C-alpha cells in the first residue's frame, strides 16, 4: 500500500469474503441479463454457456494461493461455479492481463467470450482459424 494509505474499515458484520461474493453475484446477474437481452431470452443458450464456462478472475501481482482460494470460495457461494466444478475458476495477475490484452484478438479459439468489468459486460464471438 502507498505510504500513508489507511483503508476504511468494512461495516460490522461485512467481511472481505462477503464483498467478493456479492460482487461476483452482481457480475453474474448482469452477464445473464446481457446474454438474455442479446440472444432473445434463451434459457437453453444460457444453460449451454453456464455448463461449460471458465471463470477467469484477476488478482494483484503480489497475491498468493491463499487469496485465490478465498476468491474461489466466494465464486462458488455467488453461483459462478458449483463446488463440483470449482476448478473452472482460473486466476491471472493484473500484469498478465496488461501483457496479453493486445494479443488476445489474435488467439485462435472457437468460443463465446464475455469480457466484463463490474458494470459493462461485452460479448465477443471469435471463430477459430
- pLDDT at position 3 is 84
Nearest to 127 by CA among 111, 115, 114: 111
Average pLDDT of the segment spanning 18-43: 87
The more confidently predicted of residues 110 and 4 is: 4
| Percent of the chain at pLDDT exceeding 70 | 74
pTM over 0.75: no
Closest of 47, 45, 34 to residue 115, by C-alpha: 34
- pLDDT above 50 (res 121): no
What band does 57 get if pLDDT is binned at 50, 70 and 90?
A: confident
The per-residue pLDDT for 124 is: 40
Q: What is the pLDDT of residue 96?
A: 77
Tell me which of 94 and 128 has the higher pLDDT: 94
DSSP per-residue letters across 66-106: HHHHHHHHHHHHHTSS-STTGGGEEEEEHHHHHHHTTTGGG
Give pLDDT, residue 36.
87
Q: Report whether 34 contacts 121 (CB < 8 A).
A: yes
Amino acid at each position: 500500500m502507498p505510504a500513508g494509505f489507511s483503508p476504511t474499515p468494512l461495516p460490522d458484520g461485512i467481511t472481505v469474503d462477503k464483498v467478493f461474493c456479492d460482487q461476483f453475484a452482481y457480475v453474474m446477474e448482469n452477464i445473464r441479463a446481457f446474454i438474455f437481452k442479446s440472444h432473445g431470452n434463451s434459457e437453453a443458450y444460457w444453460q449451454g454457456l453456464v455448463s461449460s464456462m471458465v471463470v477467469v478472475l484477476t488478482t494483484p501481482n503480489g497475491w498468493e494461493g491463499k487469496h485465490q482460494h478465498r476468491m474461489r470460495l466466494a465464486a462458488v457461494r455467488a453461483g459462478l461455479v458449483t463446488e463440483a466444478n470449482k476448478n473452472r475458476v482460473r486466476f491471472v495477475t493484473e500484469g498478465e492481463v496488461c501483457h496479453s490484452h493486445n494479443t488476445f484478438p489474435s488467439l485462435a479459439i472457437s468460443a463465446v467470450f464475455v469480457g466484463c468489468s463490474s458494470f459493462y459486460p461485452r460479448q465477443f464471438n471469435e471463430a477459430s482459424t
